[in-house]
A and B are shown apart, each in its own frame.
Chain A
């Protein structure tokens, strides 16, 4: 039907189902982190603007901010494997759409570097007791840019019918950013709504840890719960809009797909569960907050997994309607490499888990033992002693 570049002559080194599994799992993690950073910067930035010096709102905004550089690390690092697997499975479409918006695509890297750096700078400012919402605006704008470019690329790869015209218009450098795909905007708003929702859920969780004032923890828990309940519900609405924006052939195809139906039910159920849990975290008793907040995040992440699966179905059905069957590949596997990867992956998770556990234990012991009195003075003496030599 429509023309795609020819497939790479080297066969797939593992079965399609394995790539799809790895793709969906890692993409779920990426989209979870993406939602956390989008929502985290938005909420913490707004609170930083409105919160007065010394207020709980300000403190809450700073305690969210301090987690964000680490979240960003995972946004990027959980973004890498799905891009890798997407290139393996959909390279013919994905390389093409990336080149067509080449300038904007490579621009992602520039913007990414800038906002990552500004995040660290913002944390420095927060530590110095200064406001950082000015940086927050730039970071937010940068995130919007990146999210928008991703949404455009992931929808452009499904539109082989428009590629020629875009290539001719963009002059080869990829300067024309295609608009007019009715699915792009709803997909984008879907992520933003989910972002605020899931970040709210995460706030309810962090309200149970850390050494903030009790009033601050209260802000995190209540407002986090309210935002989560509200925006996760909104994400449900945006999801319907995404579905409605699909063309008839895709809708029809989706309904013949049993996997799609399961994923829809799972997603809807998980959304309802997380809205309920969020409301309970916000308005229920503080003593049970640990349970309700953990449940909110858990359901939220699982819902992210479910919609990642839905996205995947939409993509495959759309591509199939245009003549690209992702399952139609020769496979020549080298299992020694695959098994090495899987083994190392499990070993790495165990190692990380073990270290985080050891850190938590050691930090607790250190906190109990308190700091050595006069440590500062001792250090100064040491400094002088060495400089006398």
Chain B
């Protein structure tokens, strides 16, 4: 336990990251897709002399600016704060690898935000050609932020052979571009772009829903139909891209999915499949709602419906993130660092020298700690990344049918980490010396909801 562990009851640190991430994605991908939507729509309106469209678009631009600035930027910083708290070791690895990647992303970001503000504040105040140009620069820079962050995100699942072969040697920087353009980089970029476009359409429906459909039925119908078209590319292409993506995921991770499909209905691995199924179902519902409720009945399409569609999009994003997260287990950085911050190559060292021996953290400010205290530190350091005591993946429930023997048993299995251990697929090896295992058992015994008999 190199860093102190951030112990969030019930939710877990990972849960905090997940919540912020899903909320952020919905807005950030809109910032990318909407960035293209606005100038393209504006150009169309100008060409066709549609002042009424321009008015709607101006309102949309305002909404866009406030949403992406006040909620998008802050939630992006929020993810970063959260990963630094929940997993400082992994954050540090990412930052040491990609600090200039982030710095480059940041350059695009400054351009993007400056252009977003300029686009809104100069509406009707400058020459329209220039205004459009600002819109396109916005679109390009926001897409480029995706181009960069996608490299870092996909790296976490598939760092790729080249990077892994030098990882730990001190020469990681020499293979920066291999790590960046890692195996899942391109499929993932295409998928994210398609989703970004469809989110642009969905968020535009929010603005469109507020047009008075009885006063301006024609306008409302046209804007809705045109916005709905933005969902088509994703609808058609994402399934294929998803297969492409899976083909690039290492065999071992993919097994998680196969296992889920063949043993549906029980156990852990179905979580990946279950999440994937939720994504498929919610996406289909979105398409149906957009077509039947928005396009076909545009006049009475109201904010309530628009928000329902948005909530479905939130669910789909959440489920997809969940699947991706599960797919990566037991690693936070594929084949390099486990979710709890232990590097794969450090396992032997921790086993011979002890896990807590290298930690400067104590749970109590006393010189002598009991076994339970030490066990609590073991739990925080090695299990807390995925389990809470009583909430998310809570130990009180997972252990409720286990007595001391059977707790010793699972601790032993996690420590031995044999090739045929069923836990290998999603839990990291438990590291440390024998007395540390005893301490962990002593602590775990205190957790079950009702004492096991």
- List the interface of chain A (C-beta within 8 A of B): 3, 5-6, 8-14, 22, 69-70, 73, 76-77, 79-81, 83-85, 87-88, 91, 95-96, 98-100, 102, 105-106, 108-109, 112-113, 116-117, 119-120, 163-165, 167-169, 171-174, 330, 332-334, 336-338, 340-341, 344-345, 348, 351-352, 355-356, 358-359, 362-363, 365-366, 378-379, 382-383, 386-389
Known A-B contacts A73-B73, A117-B71, A341-B107; the reply to A12 vs B96 at CB < 8 A is yes
Interface centre among A22, A102, A171 (most CB of B within 10 A): A102
Nearest 3 CB-CB pairs, A to B? A172-B7, A95-B88, A362-B126
Which residues does chain B contribute within 8 Å of A366, judged by CB atoms? 125-127
Which residues does chain A contribute within 8 Å of B78, judged by CB atoms? 106, 109, 113
Q: Is the CB of A168 within 8 A of B365?
A: yes
Q: Is the CB of A344 within 8 A of B363?
A: no
- List the interface of chain B (C-beta within 8 A of A): 2-9, 16, 20, 49-52, 55, 66, 69-71, 73-75, 77-78, 80-82, 84-85, 88, 91-93, 95-97, 99-104, 106-111, 113-115, 117-118, 122, 125-127, 130, 133-134, 137, 168, 170-174, 176-177, 215-219, 222, 343, 358, 360-365, 380
Which residues does chain B contribute within 8 Å of A355, judged by CB atoms? 114-115, 118, 133-134, 137
Known A-B contacts A348-B111, A386-B50; the reply to A362 vs B361 at CB < 8 A is no
Known A-B contacts A73-B117, A84-B99, A173-B9; the reply to A109 vs B88 at CB < 8 A is no
Q: Is the CB of B126 within 8 A of A363?
A: yes
CA A169 – CA B80 in complex, angstroms? Answer: 25
Q: Is the CB of B81 within 8 A of A9?
A: no
CA A338 – CA B85 in complex, angstroms? Answer: 27
Q: Is the CB of B107 within 8 A of A117?
A: no
CA A338 – CA B104 in complex, angstroms? Answer: 9
Known A-B contacts A84-B99, A87-B91, A341-B103; the reply to A77 vs B113 at CB < 8 A is yes
Q: Is the CB of A73 within 8 A of B52?
A: no
Please give the distance in Å from A17's CB to the nearest CB on chain B: 15
Q: Is the CB of B176 within 8 A of A99?
A: no
Interface centre among A99, A100, A379 (most CB of B within 10 A): A99
Please give the distance in Å from A189's CB to the nearest CB on chain B: 25
Q: Is the CB of B104 within 8 A of A340?
A: yes
CA A91 – CA B20 in complex, angstroms? Answer: 23
CA A167 – CA B81 in complex, angstroms? Answer: 18
Considering the complex, give the chain B residue whose CB is closest to the CB of A14: B100
Q: Is the CB of A172 within 8 A of B88?
A: no
B360's contact among A3, A11, A76, A378, by CB below 8 Å, is which? A3
Please give the distance in Å from B127's CB to the nearest CB on chain A: 5
Which residues does chain A contribute within 8 Å of B362, judged by CB atoms? 164, 167-168
Please give the distance in Å from B423's CB to the nearest CB on chain A: 25
Which residues does chain B contribute within 8 Å of A378, judged by CB atoms? 51
Which residues does chain A contribute within 8 Å of B69, judged by CB atoms? 69, 73, 116
With A5-B360, A84-B95, A99-B85 known, 14 other A-B pairs at CB within 8 A are A8-B92, A73-B117, A76-B73, A85-B99, A95-B88, A106-B78, A112-B74, A117-B66, A173-B8, A330-B170, A348-B110, A355-B114, A359-B118, A365-B127
Q: Is the CB of A95 within 8 A of B52?
A: no
A9's contact among B71, B168, B358, by CB below 8 Å, is which? B168
Known A-B contacts A6-B2, A113-B75; the reply to A87 vs B92 at CB < 8 A is yes
Known A-B contacts A116-B70, A351-B111; the reply to A171 vs B92 at CB < 8 A is no
B96's contact among A10, A106, A163, A337, by CB below 8 Å, is which? A10
Which residues does chain A contribute within 8 Å of B97, judged by CB atoms? 10, 13
Which residues does chain B contribute within 8 Å of A358, judged by CB atoms? 130
Known A-B contacts A76-B74, A379-B55; the reply to A13 vs B100 at CB < 8 A is yes
CA A176 – CA B177 in complex, angstroms? Answer: 42
Which residues does chain B contribute within 8 Å of A99, judged by CB atoms? 3-6, 85, 88
Q: Is the CB of A362 within 8 A of B103?
A: no
CA A201 – CA B382 in complex, angstroms? Answer: 53
Q: Is the CB of B107 within 8 A of A332?
A: no
CA A88 – CA B103 in complex, angstroms? Answer: 12
CA A345 – CA B109 in complex, angstroms? Answer: 11
Q: Is the CB of A333 within 8 A of B85?
A: no
CA A109 – CA B79 in complex, angstroms? Answer: 9
Please give the distance in Å from B424's CB to the nearest CB on chain A: 25
19 contacts between A and B (CB under 8 A): A5-B360, A6-B358, A10-B96, A13-B176, A77-B109, A106-B81, A109-B75, A109-B78, A113-B70, A116-B70, A167-B361, A172-B6, A173-B9, A332-B172, A334-B100, A337-B173, A362-B126, A362-B130, A382-B51
CA A125 – CA B332 in complex, angstroms? Answer: 46
CA A379 – CA B216 in complex, angstroms? Answer: 13
